[in-house]
Structure 1
Amino acid sequence: KSKFCLGLFLLLLVDLIWVASSEASRYLFKDIHYDKPYMSTYIKTSMFSIYLLGFVLYAPWRRQCIRCACDDYPGQYQLSESMYVPAKVPSASELDSSDGERKSKMKVKFNHLMEVKHLEVFLQLNLNHKIVLLIFCVGNVQLIFQMINLFSGKLTVPQVIRISFFFAVIFFIGNVAYQEALSVSEVSLVNVLSSTSGLFTLILAAVLPSGPADRFTISKLCAVLLSIGGMTMVGLGAENTDIQNLLSTDNAKLGVMWSLIGTFCYAVYLVSLKKSVGSDENIDVPMFFGFVGMFSFTLLWPGMVALHYTGVEKFELPDRTSILLVVVNGLVGTVLSELMWLWGCLLTSSLIATMSLSLTIPLSIFLDIVFRKVEFSWLFYMGVAPVFLAFLAVTYLCHKPESDPVKTVIYKLFSCVC
């Protein structure tokens, strides 16, 4: 329960960071006129590589690398800090009763505490797994470590690299698609279509469940549809327009396509990663993002060359102000926030993490009301309540996966009618 609450706190904190990040991106694209979606996404995604410094600064990561490269090396199996526990020593009365003839003038004084050390990774296991190790692996240190990896489910460095390689491409495509959608269509239309990520996540999580919280229920479907409806009213109310006007603008169909591609890729990325990893204890999230940044930097630069020579996006180095804004926005709005967001997802569920994204739109528009004195129609205010209500409903339903109140109400109504 405490981990679940921590995950919710991280997701809400990420919403605040992304609202500020979106304001910075708006300033970069609209005011400075550095409209390079692929280039800016490539820079920010490559900055994930900074997490690979953990192999230099963090000793457990170094031991994992050496352990994968070498079966045996000095210091491979590190002992924990000393622990002192009460020693179970037979009392004098027990000794006298068990052996009456054993009496001597010599006396032995025992310490009431004994020093205990164990392998650090041994702490990852629960009591049942520790008992199995002690029974079957006594005297075989290498076998002990293999069994620990099996029981704990902790991904090794090669496994993290393979997962990072696959998800780096999906993550990058989703981000580029979202930036392209913003560059060719209205923000309100992109936000409305992005809210459908909850529907994609709900369906994919039901197909690839990673736990009880991913079970498909009618109540979750109603909550997701409520969120989509609320986001539609928020988007239309913010622009003071209607859906026909949005779709009749130039490049509207292209914007719809990019929005749906980005939304679907994000849902696939989140659900598949949650399915592959399970919980936050099975993977070092910073290590994962570090390799994502490395693969993005080394493999995706040819895309800039192709876009430059096809004329889609001309290569242009940013000026000092633009590069400073991209770097700061990348460090805070991408490197830090994506780490916190994925961690929050692993602590809660993929659907809650997706639904939390919808909260950024009302928050960003609220800033426009407070600081820019922007006025919106009644449709906007009518749409805010369903968005927040849907997020609270999904949070409750994922925390209580066996609960399906809408289904219960439908059954009761059906039984009353019949």
Structure 2
Amino acid sequence: ESVEITRFVGFFLLIISNILWVISGEITRFIIIDSHFKKPFFLFCFKTSFLSIYFIKYVCKPSTIENMRAREEIDKLSVEGFELMSDTEDEQYQRTKIRFSSIKEIRRLPLREAVEAQFARRSYERPIECCIHRPSPYNLVLIFLLGPMWILCSLTYQSSMMDTNVTSLNIFPATSSLFLLIFSICLPYCHSKVSPLMGAMVLLNLLGVSLIFQSESCPTPSSLLSTASALSYAVYLISLSKFTSIYGNVDLNFLLGSVGLTVGLISLFLLPLLDWIDIEPLLPLPTLNMSMQIVGSAFFGSLLADRLFMEGTRLTSSLSSSLSLSISIPFSFLADFLIRNQHPSFIQMMGVIPIIISFIGVSFVEGKREKSRDDVESLSLIENEDL
């Protein structure tokens, strides 16, 4: 029951993150299209820099890195030796002879306690004042692999919002499940194994996306950037799944905080460079009203949605989080209807049905797979106890 509740919470977080992304996308589209503030790089740097708030939380309260290998390590102790002194009640009054052996018994401590005991027996040494901190492989992978992938996903998604609406924009990132399915089949070391039933759910999802795509007209530059965003999300989710299988759960405060700090430092040199080479002008700066809108978009899209998406991915799987990106399409229809009075067509409404069915179907398939895995583990434990 606890596993089912955990997965339900994960799917709920994925849905909430997509709703927040749609809200942030509508605010960003209003800034870019309606307010004529076509500066995607400035908006990306400003919004992503808000993630550095999580690094403050990481510094104030650093979380413990959960290493899978350390958790699976078993401390082995030497077996205690006992000597049978008396077998029957008649022999309990007999005198017992004590013999001393030339071989002594050595009981070994666990490795962690043995190292601490060895350091405790050493003489006092003056600590070195100048210490060199060596970053762990865990932090290096987060900074140089997962962090840049997350930046690429957000940058391509933000840049594709220049010439299209939110509904058309969300069609292409929804195809990331297809790339994820291809990677899961082709890569033998991929941690996310895909069953034929889950592959059928992905194809059903793509059927709904294709129906919606036929009725949408998306400009070529935006479509290329959106497709690059879908591919980036698939590579990012595969890398995240592999990282989790090796190092354990990801420290989200460190990951998102390092992304925010990196983008904040890069923007100090990138924005003047883009202004100098006439790609994106730095001036004029946004007005006070527009700045409040950018802060609201960053709050909903970066601080809340990105964190909830990562939490939902950790509680479910990479395929579930990839399929959840298509859930933003029906929410985009609702947002366009409420804000811009744009009614979805009949084909678009029919395309929403396979998307919702595939997302719900994957949740049930993964729940049954986890339950069967737990049953197999319990049966193996019972057989080992019988043996």
TM value normalised by structure 1: 0.67
Correspondences of 1:163-178 after superposition (within 5 Å): 163-178=142-157
More displaced 10-residue stretch of structure 1: 307-316 or 354-363: 307-316
Separation in structure 2 between the aligned mates of residue 269 and residue 304 of structure 1, nearest angstrom: 26
Residue number in structure 1 paired with 2:298: 330
Report the 3-state secondary structure (helix = DSSP H, G, I; strand = E; otherwise coil) of the residue aligned with 1:129: coil
Amino acid at match of 1:321: N
2:331 to 363, 376, 379: 363
The answer for unaligned runs of 5 or more in structure 1 is 65-120, 145-155, 237-241, 404-418
Note if contact 2:249-2:314 (Cα within 8 Å) is conserved in structure 1. Answer: no
Residue number in structure 2 paired with 1:298: 265
Report the 3-state secondary structure (helix = DSSP H, G, I; strand = E; otherwise coil) of the residue aligned with 1:44: helix
1:240-259: per-residue Cα shift (whole Å, max 9, x none)? xx46xx26xxxx33222212
Q: CA deviation at 1:279?
A: 8.8
2:15 to 2, 6, 12: 12
Residue number in structure 2 paired with 1:268: 235
More displaced 10-residue stretch of structure 1: 9-18 or 184-193: 184-193
1:30 has 2:33 as partner: yes
- CA change 1:52–1:192 in 2 (3 A) is closer
2:199 to 215, 221, 245: 221
Residue number in structure 2 paired with 1:100: none
Separation in structure 2 between the aligned mates of residue 166 and residue 299 of structure 1, nearest angstrom: 17
Separation in structure 1 between the aligned mates of residue 51 and residue 366 of structure 2, nearest angstrom: 30
- CA change 1:193–1:372 in 2 (3 A) is closer
Q: CA deviation at 1:372?
A: 5.5
TM value normalised by structure 2: 0.72
The answer for unaligned runs of 5 or more in structure 2 is 78-107, 120-134, 372-387
Amino acid at match of 1:228: L
Percent of matched pairs sharing the same residue: 26
1:383 to 321, 339, 351: 351
Q: CA deviation at 1:388?
A: 0.1
Residue number in structure 1 paired with 2:173: 194
Amino acid at match of 2:116: V
1:309 has 2:312 as partner: no
1:140 has 2:115 as partner: yes
Q: CA deviation at 1:281?
A: 5.4
- CA change 1:372–1:32 in 2 (3 A) is closer
Separation in structure 2 between the aligned mates of residue 348 and residue 389 of structure 1, nearest angstrom: 17
- CA change 1:140–1:202 in 2 (3 A) is same
Note if contact 2:171-2:329 (Cα within 8 Å) is conserved in structure 1. Answer: no
Report the 3-state secondary structure (helix = DSSP H, G, I; strand = E; otherwise coil) of the residue aligned with 2:270: helix
1:97-116: per-residue Cα shift (whole Å, max 9, x none)? xxxxxxxxxxxxxxxxxxxx
Note if contact 1:164-1:289 (Cα within 8 Å) is conserved in structure 2. Answer: no
Separation in structure 1 between the aligned mates of residue 189 and residue 12 of structure 2, nearest angstrom: 24
Report the 3-state secondary structure (helix = DSSP H, G, I; strand = E; otherwise coil) of the residue aligned with 2:142: helix
Residue number in structure 1 paired with 2:74: 129
1:47 has 2:22 as partner: no
2:255 to 288, 294, 309: 288
Q: CA deviation at 1:358?
A: 0.8
- CA change 1:329–1:131 in 2 (3 A) is farther
Separation in structure 2 between the aligned mates of residue 172 and residue 384 of structure 1, nearest angstrom: 29
Aligned residue pairs: how many?
320
Q: CA deviation at 1:130?
A: 5.6
- CA change 1:309–1:27 in 2 (3 A) is same
Separation in structure 1 between the aligned mates of residue 110 and residue 19 of structure 2, nearest angstrom: 51
Note if contact 1:194-1:263 (Cα within 8 Å) is conserved in structure 2. Answer: yes
1:167-212: per-residue Cα shift (whole Å, max 9, x none)? 232222222222222213455543332221111112223426554x
| Greater relative CO, 1 or 2 (CA 8 Å, sep 6+) | 2
Report the 3-state secondary structure (helix = DSSP H, G, I; strand = E; otherwise coil) of the residue aligned with 2:294: helix
Q: CA deviation at 1:355?
A: 0.8
Report the 3-state secondary structure (helix = DSSP H, G, I; strand = E; otherwise coil) of the residue aligned with 1:282: coil
Q: CA deviation at 1:25?
A: 1.4
Separation in structure 2 between the aligned mates of residue 170 and residue 292 of structure 1, nearest angstrom: 10
- Note the aligned Cα RMSD (angstroms): 3.3
Residue number in structure 2 paired with 1:343: 311
